[in-house]
Amino acid sequence: MNQYITGSVIKELREKNNMTQCQLAEKLGVSDKTVSKWERGSGYPDIALLEPIAQVFSVSVTELISGNAIKNENVSANMLKVKFCVCPVCGNVIQSTGEAVINCHGVLLSPCSAEKEDENHGISIETVEDEYFVTVDHPMTKSHFISFLAAVSSDRVQTVKLYPEGGASARFKKNGIRRIYYYCNRDGLYYVDVIKKK
């Protein structure tokens, strides 16, 4: 039952919201004895109640099931703090600017940890009028390729999805770009600071 809501989570959230068992029961349309049963671990809420319980406590269903609250400390909404998640099943690229619980194909995704460019993942950045033309010196075979390139400034992220047997390059409007990210499907996420590279 570790993938389902526990009574201790319900109790913790109820107490945090200064709510009695009766008040919670009334909001959910169940009896206070039912809530007491959940909190004692003698039963579990019906799956149809997960969303209503989450709404009562102003949390996501994922937070409710995991028992971990998500706190978004990125209140300044600075895009330079962007995080990238990549699904190992389909290659989907998902970005967030704060804390998030992200699932794809039933897999809980963690943000990729970016490393500085290395000799196996060299990158070149050329200025062409008001754009940067970015090229990664990397094979683009079906089993080993660059999955995406992203250019990040303080107010936007420009992302280009790449595919095997295509080119490992992209054009980005300059617009204050400070960092370029690129993802190798075998070795992970890399970055280069544009100002230092030029």
In the chain, the amino acid numbered 79 is M
Strand 115-116 vs strand 188-193: parallel, antiparallel, or unpaired?
parallel
Q: Region 20-47: what's the mean pLDDT?
A: 89
Question: What is the reported pLDDT for 41?
Answer: 83
Question: What is the reported pLDDT for 3?
Answer: 46
Select from 102, 105, 118 the least CA-distant residue to 182. Answer: 118
Select from 182, 170, 53 the least CA-distant residue to 117. Answer: 182
Residue 78 vs residue 24, higher pLDDT = 24
Question: What is the reported pLDDT for 197?
Answer: 56
Strand 188-193 vs strand 179-184: parallel, antiparallel, or unpaired?
antiparallel
How confident is the model over 59-105, as pLDDT tens digits?
887 777 777 665 545 445 578 889 999 998 898 999 988 777 888 88
Q: Region 16-25: what's the mean pLDDT?
A: 92
Tokens standing for residue 93: 């690229």
**Is residue 107's pLDDT more than 50?**
yes
Report the Cα 76 to chain-centroid distance in Å: 18
Taking the model in full, what pTM does it have? 0.64
Question: What is the reported pLDDT for 98?
Answer: 77
Q: Give the DSSP per-residue string, 149-177.
A: EEEE-SS-EEEEE--TTS-SEEEEE-TT-
Question: What is the reported pLDDT for 29?
Answer: 92
Question: What is the reported pLDDT for 71?
Answer: 54
d(CA 196, CA 176): 14
Question: What is the reported pLDDT for 45?
Answer: 86
How confident is the model over 150-186, as pLDDT tens digits?
999 988 999 999 999 999 999 999 989 999 999 999 9
Question: What is the reported pLDDT for 74?
Answer: 47
